[in-house]
């Protein structure tokens, strides 16, 4: 179902012209890092789009000036889904984010245009929101490693950016646990786990996703805007006020539990970062079998209405490293 038409002309234009991908770039004469920001990779996650067009206006109207480096803003990465107010246009843009020689769907065509743009930048900030109530958090990728799946050498820079965005939680280790979900479904890990962040790392850059709050919460737009200014301040791209840095321990994803049947139910209204103790029951299968936490930690990304075979909830623990 379509949402009410947004007031900002850039967002209206994105809906009216879904076959045109529009971005806005500024390059200062002074050298510095290059930052790319994506809004509305998922079309019903609108906070990023609204925050990004505010920043476009501030730069275009001279209320804010780029001091060094390069900044590219994409208010609406998935215009088809944004116009529909749905997560996906024809498929999830944040899965299989790999350019194909012969695009098969709308998101493939978007990926063909966005992938080179990512490769031209050093850092990526991807603005998202989530479906259940909870506190904003930033997500980073793996620690530095030389493995075959997601080799990486910029974990310290990535974590420093994540801590600068104003969210008071940072989550690590997405792809490893996503691969574990594929194995639980009887599948082999493949390119389905590759999203914008993973692709950015594969091109030599680093990337942070910030989940700004619940989809419909107007405060999520303010969270996204604070994250934008936090990134600009941290990278020294503009003279702006920065939100408080997160100085606590990160949370590391450890386990994922799939929903097996529509009859599976969570025992309470779980929110991300709700604490659990080992043995505490989180959900009950359709046949009455309890699903309990295997270790102390917290629940992340609970999805009570997940389709059968999809991620029901994740479990995480404080990062001891």
Please state, in angstroms and rounded to a whole number, the distance separating the CA atoms of residues 85 and 14: 13
Please state, in angstroms and rounded to a whole number, the distance separating the CA atoms of residues 216 and 313: 21
- pLDDT confidence of residue 188: 87
Q: Is the model's pLDDT at 5 over the cut of 80?
A: no
Per-residue pLDDT tens digits for 187-203 = 888 898 999 999 999 99
- pLDDT confidence of residue 37: 99
Neighbours of 85 (CB within 10 A): 15
Is the full-model pTM beyond 0.75? yes
Per-residue pLDDT tens digits for 76-129 = 999 999 999 999 999 999 999 999 999 999 999 999 999 999 999 999 999 999
Let me know if 248 is exposed, middle or buried by CB neighbors in 10 A (0-12, 13-18, 19+). Answer: exposed
**Average of per-residue pLDDT across 225-253:** 96
- For the packed helices 219-234 and 155-163, what is the interaxial angle rounded to 10 degrees? 130
- pLDDT confidence of residue 133: 81
Q: Is the model's pLDDT at 1 over the cut of 60?
A: no
- pLDDT confidence of residue 16: 97
Per-residue pLDDT tens digits for 264-279 = 999 999 998 999 999 9
Token digits of residue 89: 């246009």
Query: Which domains, from first to last, does the chain contain?
Result: 9-234 (3.40.630.10), 251-318 (2.40.50.630)
């Amino acid at each position: 179902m379509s949402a009410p038409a947004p007031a900002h002309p850039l967002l209206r234009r994105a809906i009216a012209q879904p076959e045109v991908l529009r971005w806005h770039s500024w390059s200062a004469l002074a050298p510095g890092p290059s930052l790319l920001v994506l809004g509305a990779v998922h079309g019903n996650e609108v906070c990023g789009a609204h925050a990004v067009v505010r920043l476009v206006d501030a730069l275009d109207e001279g209320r804010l000036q780029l001091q060094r480096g390069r900044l590219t803003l994409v208010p609406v990465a998935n215009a088809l889904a944004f116009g529909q107010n749905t997560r996906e246009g024809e498929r999830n843009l944040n899965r299989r984010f790999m350019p194909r020689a012969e695009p098969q769907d709308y998101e493939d065509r978007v990926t063909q245009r966005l992938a080179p743009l990512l490769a031209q930048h050093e850092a990526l900030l991807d603005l998202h929101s989530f479906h259940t109530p909870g506190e904003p958090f930033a997500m980073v990728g793996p620690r530095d490693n030389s493995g075959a799946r997601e080799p990486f050498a910029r974990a310290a820079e990535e974590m420093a950016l994540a801590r600068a965005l104003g969210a008071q939680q940072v989550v690590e280790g997405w792809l490893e646990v996503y691969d574990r979900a594929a194995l639980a479904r009887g599948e082999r890990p493949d390119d389905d786990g590759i999203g914008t962040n993973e692709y950015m790392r594969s091109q030599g850059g680093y990337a942070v996703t910030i989940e700004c709050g619940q989809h419909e919460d107007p405060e999520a737009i303010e969270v996204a805007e604070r994250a934008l200014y936090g990134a600009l301040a941290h990278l020294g791209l503009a003279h702006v006020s920065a939100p408080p840095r997160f100085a606590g321990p990160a949370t590391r994803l450890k386990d994922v539990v799939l929903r097996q049947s529509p009859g599976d139910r969570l025992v309470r209204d779980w929110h991300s970062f709700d604490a659990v103790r080992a043995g505490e029951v989180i959900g009950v299968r359709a046949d009455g079998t309890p699903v309990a936490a295997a270790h102390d930690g917290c629940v992340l990304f609970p999805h009570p209405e997940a389709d059968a075979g999809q991620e029901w909830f994740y479990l995480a623990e404080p990062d001891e490293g």
